[in-house]
Structure 1
Amino acid sequence: MTEFTQFAMNNVALFGAWVVVAVLLLAVQVRLMAHGPKSITTQMLTNYVNRDEAVVVDIRGQGDFSKGHIPGAINMPLSQLKDKARDLEKYKDKPIIMVCANGIQVGGACETLRKEGFENLHKLTGGMSSWTGDNLPVVK
């Protein structure tokens, strides 16, 4: 601990920059947890669809979608999401579960839909990779 304190005192600017970056990263993470879409597992997705008539929106491109997707999923590529958000208006009162290839791109997609007035948004953790990894059915 003494070495850490000594380092901080000898490198005030560097230590200050590190503190600022750490605080900003923490603030972003807290904001995402508070306002971002809820991450759900494949089991939870199945429950949402069966119990709450949730809608699955697959944001992958048409080519990947046609190679295999979750049964009943709607294909709405990320590049077209903002323009086609109106097509989802009829599902505003239902949970919407966003799916991509590996769970990385859905955060931005959910933010796009949130700006269009959608609130009950979820994202599949791990995307289609987790769905197929759990040996769940796909439609081609």
Structure 2
Amino acid sequence: MQEIMQFVSRHPVLSIAWVGLLLAVLVTTFKGLASKVKVISRGEATRLINKEDAVVVDVRQRDDFRKGHIANAINVLPNEIKAGNVGELEKHKNKPIIVVDANGMSSQELAGALSKAGFEQVTVLKEGVAGWSGENLPLVRGK
């Protein structure tokens, strides 16, 4: 214990940075555990699509969507979800929803908004379209 105290007294900036990172990891972990929205793997997404008729909601920009998206995905822009304008999705409220973005970083907030809007089972695809195509899973072009 004395060695730790010596380290802290000699390296206060490193010690503060370490405590800050530890707190960030703990907060992120507990937020994820408490969230209604779960992050799912590509295998789980495939199972939901094939067995439970899940709806894939791609939140990337239209140009990125046209360059390649998961089959039968619906392209809804983030500002439309934030504004509550989810017209085409409204009929799918009771189906599983998989929110997909470019790399899995920004879809958590949008999935939370969909959950608050009354969608029953909302999930986020881990690593987004980048992870999907990284495993050579099919993408559809155009539309």
Q: Which category describes the TM-score, using the shorter chain as reference length?
A: 0.7 to 0.9
The answer to whether residue 46 in structure 2 is matched with residue 66 in structure 1 is no
Using the aligned pairs only, state the percent identity: 40
Paired position in structure 1 for 2:140:
139
**Equivalence for 1:56:** 56
With over 3 angstroms needed to count, the CA separation of the structure-2 counterparts of 1:119 and 1:17, relative to structure 1, is farther
In the TM superposition, what are the counterparts of 1:96-115 in structure 2 within 5 Å?
96-115=97-116
**Cα separation, partners in 2 of 1:8 and 1:59, compared to 1, 3 Å:** same
Unaligned runs of 5+ residues in structure 2 are none
Shift in Å, 1:78: 1.2
1:33 has 2:28 as partner: no
Give deviations 1:20-43, integer Å, cap 9, x for gaps.
874465234212222152111222
Change (3 A) 1:86 1:33: farther
More helix by share: 1
Structure 1 residue 4, shift from structure 2 partner: 1.2
The Cα shift of 1:47 comes to 0.7
Q: Is the alpha carbon distance of 1:75 and 1:31 closer, same or farther for their aligned partners in structure 2, counting shifts above 3 Å? A: same
Deviations 1:77-100 (A, max 9, x none): 112223322432211111100000
Aligned partners of 1:130, 1:18: CA distance in 2, in Å? 30
CA distance in 2, matches of 1:48, 1:15: 44
* Residues 1:88 and 1:136: Cα distance change in structure 2 (over 3 Å): same
Q: CA deviation at 1:10?
A: 9.2
Work out whether residues 36 and 107 of structure 1, in 8 Å CA contact, stay in contact via their aligned partners in 2.
Answer: no
How far apart in 1 are the matches of 2:116 and 2:71?
A: 27
Alpha-carbon RMSD = 2.6
Give me the TM-score of the superposition, normalised by structure 2: 0.81
Q: Could you list the runs of 5+ residues in structure 1 that have no partner in the other structure? A: none
TM (norm. structure 1) is 0.82
Q: Distance in 1 between matches of 2:30 and 2:63?
A: 35
Q: Distance in 1 between matches of 2:18 and 2:134?
A: 39
What is aligned with 2:127?
A: 126
Q: How many aligned residue pairs are there?
A: 139
The corresponding residue for 2:80 is 80
What is the CA-CA distance between 1:72 and the residue it aligns to?
0.4
1:58–1:16 distance in 2 versus 1, CA, 3 Å: closer
Q: Give SS of 2:99's match.
A: strand
